[in-house]
Chain A
Amino acid sequence: MEKAKKISVEQCCVYYSIETSFVQQLDERGLIKLNRIGKKTFIAYEQLGDLEKYIRLHYDLEINMAGLETIRHLLHRVQLLQDEVRRLQTS
C-alpha cells in the first residue's frame, strides 16, 4: 500500500504561522486527524485542505472551536442536501 504523505505539525505551524495548540485542539475535537509516530505528531497532506479552512475561519473570522464544530456539522448537512438535490434533478 502507498505510504500516505504527511508533514510534522511543527513544520506545518511554522508554514502557516499558527500555534501548535490550535492544531492539537482541532485534533482533540475530531475536526482533523493527527498521526503520532514516536514522540512526533504528523498531519496527512489530504487533511491540509480542512486545516486551511479552519485556519481561515478561526483567524480571519474569529470563530471559536465550538463554532468550528457546529460549522462542520452544518456544512456536512449542506453537502448531503446538495447531493440529494443533484440526484433528484437528474433522476
Chain B
Amino acid sequence: MEYIDYYKILGVSKDASADEIKKAYRKLARQHHPDLNPNDKEADKRFQQINEANEVLSDPETRKKYDQYGKDWKHAEQFEQAHQQRQSAGNNPFGSGENPFGGGGYYSSSDDSGDYSDFFASMFGSRGGSRQTKFKGQDTRASLQLNLSQTYTTHKQTFTVNGKNIRITVPAGVENGQEIKLAGFGLPGVNGGPNGDLYITFEIINDTSFTRKGNDLYKTLPLNLYKAIMGGEETIDTLNGKVKLKIAPETQSGTKVRLKGKGIPVYKKEGEFGDLYITWEVQIPTNLTAKEKELFEELSKQR
C-alpha cells in the first residue's frame, strides 16, 4: 500500500484554496467521468482517483488530517492513540472502519470500501463525501458471436460477463448488430441502488454460401446449358436440408426463382420464414470437340 499524493492527482499545490481544489476537481472530473467515457476502464480508474482526492481535500477536516499524517499514515493510528491518552477522551478517527467523516460519494458503496484505494480506507475508514443517493449500477455491453446457420433455430448460449456465467435463449432469426437487454445483469448499484443492465449485441458470422438480406437468403448457382434449354431438375442445399427444384425448359441465364419459406425464420414469429432466391447462371460449355462444334453449327443453321 503506497502513499497517495492527492494534491498531485488534482494538480494543485499544497496550499491551494478550497476554491482552487473545487475548480481542479471539476475540470478533471469533466474529462474522466465514466458517463462521458463509455467502455473506458482507464477513465474509470482515473475518475476514482480524482474522486478520492476530492473527497479528502474538499473537506477541511479530512484535509487537515491528511496534511498532518499523510506521509506517516502507517503511524497515524499510533499518533492518535497517544493523542487520546493525553486527552483521555474522544473517539479514534482512524478506528476499525467506523467512518468519522460521514456520507458517501458517487463511487462509495454501501457494503465497504471497494471503490477506494487501500490508502484511503486505511486512513479514513471506508466511506466519505456527502451524497447518499442510490444509483443504478453502470450498464455493461458485450457482444456474442453466432454463426448464421445457428440463427436458424432457437437455442441456448452460455457465456461469462463480469465473472458471472449467463445462459440465455437466442431466438431464431436474430440479426447482425441486434441488441438484447438483460435487466439487472450489469454492474452492481451504488449505495444499494439496483444493478445496471447488460446489453448483448449479436455478431453474425456467415458460415454459409448464402447472402442474407433481412430474413431472405440469396444464392447464385451454375446451370448446365442443356438443362437450361431442355428443362429438368436440380437438387440444391437450403439451411434445413436439400430441395429438388424443377428447371423450366428454355431457362435464361440470370433467371431468379423464389423458394417460399426457405429463408431465415422471422425473429420471434414462430412458423414465419423469409424466402430463398436462387439465380441461375447458365454455363456455356468450353473445350468443344469437333463433333460438338459441328452439331452447334447445324443447330445455328436451324435459326
Could you list which residues of chain A lie within 8 angstroms of chain B, going by C-beta atoms? 15-17, 48-49, 52-53, 55-57, 60-63, 71, 75, 78-79, 82-83, 86-87, 90
Contacts of B196 in A (CB 8 A): 49
Could you write out 7 A-B pairs with CB less than 8 Å apart?
A: A16-B133, A53-B35, A57-B33, A60-B33, A60-B131, A62-B26, A83-B201
Contacts of A56 in B (CB 8 A): 33, 35, 106, 135
Q: How many residues belonging to B are interface residues under a CB distance threshold of 8 Å?
A: 23
Are A75 and B36 touching (Cβ within 8 A)? yes
Could you list which residues of chain B lie within 8 angstroms of chain A, going by C-beta atoms? 26, 29-30, 33, 35-36, 38-39, 106, 131, 133-136, 139, 143, 145, 177, 196-197, 201, 203, 205
Are A71 and B36 touching (Cβ within 8 A)? yes
CA–CA, A90 and B145, complex, Å: 9
Contact A79-B38, Cβ < 8 Å, known A49-B197, A52-B135: yes
Are B203 and A78 touching (Cβ within 8 A)? no
B203's contact among A53, A61, A90, by CB below 8 Å, is which?
A90
CA–CA, A46 and B123, complex, Å: 39
Counting chain B CB atoms within 10 Å of each CB, which of A15, A17, A49, A62 scores highest?
A49
B174 to chain A, nearest CB (A): 15
Contacts of B33 in A (CB 8 A): 56-57, 60-61
Contacts of A63 in B (CB 8 A): 30
CA–CA, A54 and B255, complex, Å: 56
Contacts of A49 in B (CB 8 A): 136, 139, 196-197
Main secondary structure of the interface of A (DSSP, over half): helix
CA–CA, A49 and B30, complex, Å: 19
Are B29 and A61 touching (Cβ within 8 A)? yes
Contacts of B197 in A (CB 8 A): 49
Given contact pairs A49-B139, A61-B26, A87-B177, a sample of 8 additional A-B residue pairs in the complex whose CB atoms are under 8 Å apart: A15-B133, A17-B133, A49-B197, A56-B35, A57-B33, A57-B36, A75-B38, A82-B39
Contacts of A87 in B (CB 8 A): 177, 203
Contacts of B29 in A (CB 8 A): 60-61
Contacts of A57 in B (CB 8 A): 33, 35-36
Contacts of B135 in A (CB 8 A): 52, 56
CA–CA, A86 and B197, complex, Å: 20
B136's contact among A52, A61, A78, A90, by CB below 8 Å, is which?
A52
A53 to chain B, nearest CB (A): 5
CA–CA, A61 and B134, complex, Å: 18
CA–CA, A87 and B39, complex, Å: 16
A28 to chain B, nearest CB (A): 21
